[in-house]
Amino acid sequence: MKLVNVRACWRRRSSQMGACWAFSSVAATEGINQIKNGNLISLSEQELIDCNVNSQSHGCNLGLVDDAFQFIIDNGGIDNEINYPYNEADGSCNSNTESNSVVTISGFEDVPSNSEASLLKVVSIQPVSVAIDGGDPNFQHYAGGIFTGPCDTELNHAVTAIGYCINTDGTKYWLLKNS
């Protein structure tokens, strides 16, 4: 297997609720912070779930990664998971942690839709939040290996692209972190 210019492995943990948007945006932010500062800090998905209420994001009932990134900017950063732990449920915003922002971002950009070349360029530098069709039963029951199920355009699930690989047999595939 050949790994195409990926700086690190950006995998961590998973979740069983509808907050993929929070997990994907936090994973990308953690990776960017590690690249910039050399520290991999576990950030709080729960802060996004609880506090990002003035947007189209609805905690455990789906949301948008762009809203998550905008919240991190507007909030002056995001707290770490030690101070604001994940509890697998919607909760009230703990405003006491707002002053504990440990990682900030100054902006974000959308990768052009359907441009694998653009995505490959960015993923070779950092993890990227991406939207996929996660509704297919083949994907729902995916257990490992290279996913070869159908590819549809109903974007309903956020994951983090963490690499692009080429197997020894020439099979090309994206390495995704799924919540």
Catalytic annotation, residues? 20, 157, 178
Q: Which residue has 């440990």 as its token pair?
A: 102
Beta-strand ranges (E) seen in 39-167 are: 128-132, 157-166
* Beta-ladder partners of 175: 163
Q: Are 133 and 144 in contact (CB under 8 A)?
A: no
Q: Are 85 and 42 in contact (CB under 8 A)?
A: no
Give the pair of three-digit tokens for residue 77. 């950063």
Q: Which of 122, 101, 123 minimizes the C-alpha distance to 177?
A: 123
